[in-house]
Structure 1
Amino acid sequence: MAQSDEEDDYMNMVFEDAPKGPKYETSLQRAARRRKEGEAKARQKTKAEREEEAEAAREASLATALPETNKGFKMMAKFGFKQGDALGKSESGRKEPIRVNVKDDRGGIGLESEKKRKFREQFEEADRLAKRSKEEEGDYLEVLRQEQKEKMAGRDLNDAQRTAERLFDKEAEEKGTPEPSEKPLKDINVLWRTRARRRAEIKRDKQQRRELNDSIASRLPTLAPEDDDDDDDSKVAQGQDLAPFYTTLENDVEDEDPELEDFEALPVTERLHKVLTYLRDKYRYCLYCGHEFPDAEMEGCPGMTQEDHD
């Protein structure tokens, strides 16, 4: 037999007349409650908790509209102000109160702005110094690269001058007109005249050192030839009968050479360019290929400079 829809569902029944808790708290409950409240009041709140409560109270106050029972609201209502309207005759004023920035330190008014200004100046100074240091570092690296480049160009210049001089001497021997060993410096091509002048200076220095060592022997008295006059004895005793050894001082290397001075005054890269051009035009020779080409087009050579051969 099916149950009727009107039958009660005993599983979901609610007894409204069920007994409830005591209407009044007992003495034990009251004592426990008072003990908890006393402990809560006696506990010292931390600074963070006090600041949090003050912030919450301030935000709640700012979020609460001015009640109509407020005396100030009543005065503004007489001039037509309504809740939610903006201030001013043209209603262009503020609708929300000005935010409050609580000052929680003991510094004077304006000190925070001064700190911000100093901090901003320090930041700008640090940024300026960092940029300057970066620029100086870049300049220093550029100077190092330039010095390295000039040093490499100096080595290439010396190699190019040696090669040009060798090819010139080789051509002169093939023609049967070799260059004299004591050729004046001004008659040597200015492109490699520096090498010839350096060799002449080294030769002169060696000769002077040799003459300086031999000069000690020249000061010692020696026997004069028997057929000399009697006056020679006094010359011998004084060491004045010997010929002087310092002949290199009379034939010193020519100091004045305006053409060479002008050439040496040029930057090393420009001097190198002149010598390389001479080698290519005169002998069809590339210093970096190390090869003398058969024709003027120098087919196969990538270029004149070291960068072209890299």
Structure 2
Amino acid sequence: MSDDEADYMSDAFLKQIPDTRPSLVPKHVARRLQNERREKIANEKNKQKPKTVLEKEKRDEGLQSAISENNKGFALLQKMGYKPGMALGKFGEGRKEPVQVELKTGRGGLGREQDQKRKQEQRMVWRKHQSAKKQRMDSERKQTFVKRMNEKIATRNVGKDLYNSQKVCEQLDSQLGITSPNEAFFWPEALLPKTNDTDECPDTLESLEAGYSGYVQDEVEEEELGHEAEGSEGDEDDPYANFTVEEKLDVLTLYLRTKHKYCIWCGIKYNDNEDLMQNCPGNSAELHEDL
């Protein structure tokens, strides 16, 4: 078979054959649909554009085209020495293109669009400022929360270190035969020696006559107030009464290192001062973190 002869089994040959397959649509329905399609095509061809669309197309076409030589204004410019492409002015410092036409389609007054644009820009600047302020406040709140939590954890760790130091101090002091701590906070509160400070009154109110009960009651109240005042003066005399947990831990750590050559964070009792200075990183928990 030559190349000029068409292959009747190829796709190209089959595409040329009209589709005559039977349809499930009745003939009168198919005829009506075909007429509707033809009518739709005819309407699209004969359809006229709205007046506003035609005006816009004409205006855009006019703005995009240069001024023709038949224009009277262009002819006057040519008489004064103007040539196409030149700028206006004696020294050519003016504009080269005509003033652009800005068609006003809205019904607002003159300057309203510029005012709305200015207000919109102000709102955008205000929103950006508020967003930046909110981000800054969120960052500050986050930093404050993290700082507060770190301080809380640090305080809890200091309390644990103080309690462990108190237990170790009591054990080491007991080994040396010390029956009472140098300071009250050197030992745990539960292990402090108990003292009986209660003063018993020999005469009770019930044993007195009725006429003296009020007088004795006043004397008892005055004595109680006197004991409270003495207790408050004793607290003022105590140099460690107002110490914080951190300050108490520092004092107790210094006592353990100088008296017993012991480091609470190393957990080791050193032989002497030189051994302590050479092998112990320092007198705080921060200096032992890298170990």
Q: What range is the shorter-chain TM-score in?
A: 0.5 to 0.7
CA distance in 2, matches of 1:132, 1:279: 46
The one-letter code sitting in structure 2 at the alignment partner of 1:68 is: E
Matched, 1:275 2:252: yes
The 1:83–1:132 alpha-carbon spacing in structure 2 relative to 1, beyond 3 Å, is same
Shift of 1:259: 5.5
The match for 2:83 is: 82
Q: Identity across aligned pairs (percent)?
A: 25
CA distance in 2, matches of 1:267, 1:63: 84
Q: Would you say the 8 A contact 1:191–1:275 is kept in 2?
A: no
Q: Would you say the 8 A contact 2:169–2:186 is kept in 1?
A: no
The match for 1:164 is: 169
CA distance in 1, matches of 2:77, 2:141: 67
The match for 1:144 is: 149
Residues 17-39 of structure 1 show CA distances to partners (whole Å, capped at 9, x for unaligned) of xxxxxxxxxxxxxxx9x954774
Q: Would you say the 8 A contact 1:193–1:260 is kept in 2?
A: no
Shift of 1:63: 3.2
Q: Would you say the 8 A contact 1:162–1:192 is kept in 2?
A: no
Shift of 1:95: 2.2
The 1:275–1:62 alpha-carbon spacing in structure 2 relative to 1, beyond 3 Å, is farther
The match for 1:122 is: 127
Shift of 1:146: 1.5
Which of 284, 287, 291 matches 1:308?
Answer: 287
Report the TM-score, using the length of structure 2 for normalisation.
0.59
SS of the equivalent of 2:259 reads helix
Structure 2 unaligned blocks of 5 or more? 1-38, 214-219
The 1:91–1:144 alpha-carbon spacing in structure 2 relative to 1, beyond 3 Å, is same
The 1:61–1:44 alpha-carbon spacing in structure 2 relative to 1, beyond 3 Å, is closer
Which of 185, 190, 206 matches 1:192?
Answer: 185
Q: How large is the Cα RMSD of the aligned pairs? A: 4.6
Structure 1 unaligned blocks of 5 or more? 1-31, 182-187, 212-217, 222-234
Deviates more, 1:69-78 or 1:190-199: 190-199
Q: Would you say the 8 A contact 2:170–2:187 is kept in 1?
A: no
After superposition, where does 1:9-48 map in structure 2 within 5 Å?
A: 36=43, 39-41=46-48
Q: Would you say the 8 A contact 1:286–1:304 is kept in 2?
A: yes
The 1:258–1:158 alpha-carbon spacing in structure 2 relative to 1, beyond 3 Å, is farther
Residues 116-147 of structure 1 show CA distances to partners (whole Å, capped at 9, x for unaligned) of 21222122122212212221221222122112
Report the TM-score, using the length of structure 1 for normalisation.
0.56
Q: Would you say the 8 A contact 2:161–2:249 is kept in 1?
A: yes
SS of the equivalent of 1:136 reads helix
Residues 255-274 of structure 1 show CA distances to partners (whole Å, capped at 9, x for unaligned) of 2334545x454554344233
The one-letter code sitting in structure 1 at the alignment partner of 2:125 is: R
CA distance in 1, matches of 2:195, 2:163: 17
The match for 2:34 is: none
